[in-house]
Structure 1
Amino acid sequence: MLVFFGVTLAISTANATEAPAIAAAANIKFALDKIVSKFEQETGLSVRISYGSSGNFVSQIQHGAPFEMMLSADEFYIEQLHQAGYTQDAGVIYAIGRLALAAPKQSQMMLDEELIGLGQFITDGKLKRFAIANPEHAPYGERAQEVLKAKGLWDVIQPRLILGENASQAAQFTISGSTQGGIVPLSLVLAPQFMTLANYVVIPDHLYEPLYQRMALMPNASQTTTHFYQYIQSPQSQQILREFGFNLPNTASETVN
């Protein structure tokens, strides 16, 4: 089984004892991995990324986890930390997330942006398992719930839901064959290792509240972390974010073909 999602507090760089710890929403993994690689090549500096759900990271930070920066999947979580005094300031929006309806290539479910095929699959009694991230603490799961409610499918699909601890785990459930489909981040769907195993369609943005992804520095942020924070806002990093399906704060109308 293909495993491509990180676990909370997982070490992603070699110099783990020296590199500052950064918390990042699971949905940004592939884009951020590429940004980190370029950052380290260009600066000679290293950072240590932990991927997980934004809600869980908030709890960890409030209980003393030594993160120097957090990249959230929803600005709500950064605002929550800022109001409690856990960040230097309110931070900045670094990306706007988007959703996709996806299914393993062998799935018989028809994929369409209005979820008509999913509804028919349920009506015909063919849908057994469907993946989303846990809406209780994962913003992409919360937005997936909004989409399903908007299409009148939430009540009937709940008994069939398989909940991922975070967005990446939901994406893994979607492609592994353990489900017949799922609503997952577009940023993960566009990764090559996903596209070889699954098909997808982009879900229209109007079906869910915008996913403004905000990041902020913690009071203990080092110079390396501050430099990385600034690097994510650079044109080269913004281009990478676009490649992985994100809209940007000043280009929200741009879409992926």
Structure 2
Amino acid sequence: MHCVTGLGKIWSLVFALALSCCVALMPAVSRAETVPAIAAAANIKFALDDIIKNFSAETGLKVRVSYGSSGNFVAQIQHGAPFELLLSADERYIHELQKAGFTRDAGVLYAVGRLALVAPNKSPLTLDAELNGVKSLLAADKLERFAIANPEHAPYGERARELLQKLGLWDGLQTKLILGENASQAAQFAVSGSTQGGIIPLSLALAPQFKALGQAIALPEALHGPLNQRMALMSKAGATAERFYQYLQSDAARAVFLQYGFGLPTL
């Protein structure tokens, strides 16, 4: 198993400026309040970018967002990172922050995620919902590298591991795994040509930037635990973060999430 932290050359060319790993400074909304810092799971990158664009056009307000793994953001918030809102890939992280007193309340579910099996163009991997193509390549000793997000702190990596365990593939893939630091980096590795494929969020597989590089198939939700994505305001969130939080629950925002393959929870 390999844990890779640097971005590959193809990723940087195709997804240039697509993933912000640190908070970028933005102009102040007013003297009283600066643009709020938002932390968001990497799997919602493309959907949230569209939602933020629409929000700013409608309200004239701005937010600055960092994308990464939910587990890492929890650690950062616990150590004083000034995020005002966290959109997690797994609701347990919000519950953890609430229990420790960092959030205003339990927050709300904003989306239900899905996994996808993907392969770069020209890969020998055949895509199917039961991963028989993966099994065939493994049996023929033709599967060299397979990408997922790191299951130690990325919820989509955790669910990928669950799925592979349920299908009896986890042990056989141990020496083949390339671990992305978060879901977006796993997607990079899965379509860069350096692997034969991988398991990534369906939301990233549906992004136009991905479709030019690979193929994808949605995987059955019954093969892994639910990916209930929850968000919550931090205790010191300001007015702009509050308004964005409400906008994320609007029909307009939910339509964008639906477009990127997410299920919609009942609000």
| TM-score, with structure 1 as normaliser | 0.95
Structure 1 residue aligned with 2:245, among 220, 226, 229?
Answer: 229
Q: Does 1:172 align with 2:188?
A: yes
Structure 1 residue aligned with 2:27, among 15, 31, 51?
Answer: 15
For residues 26-41 of structure 1, the aligned pairs below 5 Å read 26-41=42-57
RMSD: 1.4
Q: Does 1:143 align with 2:162?
A: no
Residue of structure 1 equivalent to 2:84: 68
**Is the 8 Å Cα contact of residues 31 and 244 (structure 1) preserved in structure 2?**
yes
Q: Does 1:49 align with 2:65?
A: yes
Residue of structure 2 equivalent to 1:254: none
Q: Provide the C-alpha distance between the structure 1 equivalents of 2:63 and 2:127, rounded to a whole number of angstroms.
A: 39
- Per the TM alignment, residue 178 of structure 1 is displaced from its structure 2 partner at its CA by 1.3
SS in 2 for 1:159: coil
Structure 1 residue aligned with 2:264, among 237, 243, 248?
Answer: 248
Structure 2 residue aligned with 1:187, among 159, 180, 203?
Answer: 203
- Per the TM alignment, residue 66 of structure 1 is displaced from its structure 2 partner at its CA by 0.3
Structure 2 residue aligned with 1:2, among 1, 11, 18?
Answer: 11
SS in 2 for 1:49: strand
| TM-score, with structure 2 as normaliser | 0.91
- Per the TM alignment, residue 170 of structure 1 is displaced from its structure 2 partner at its CA by 0.1
Q: Which amino acid aligns with 1:250?
A: T
Q: Provide the C-alpha distance between the structure 1 equivalents of 2:26 and 2:130, rounded to a whole number of angstroms.
A: 44
Residue of structure 1 equivalent to 2:6: none
Detail structure 1 runs of 4+ shifted over 2 Å in the superposition: 2-5, 13-18
Residue of structure 2 equivalent to 1:255: none
- Per the TM alignment, residue 105 of structure 1 is displaced from its structure 2 partner at its CA by 1.1
**Is the 8 Å Cα contact of residues 16 and 48 (structure 1) preserved in structure 2?**
no
Structure 2 residue aligned with 1:162, among 175, 178, 190?
Answer: 178
SS in 2 for 1:31: helix
Q: Provide the C-alpha distance between the structure 2 equivalents of 1:9 and 1:210, rounded to a whole number of angstroms.
A: 28
How many corresponding residue pairs? Answer: 250
Inter-CA distance 16–194: structure 2 relative to 1 (3 Å threshold) = farther
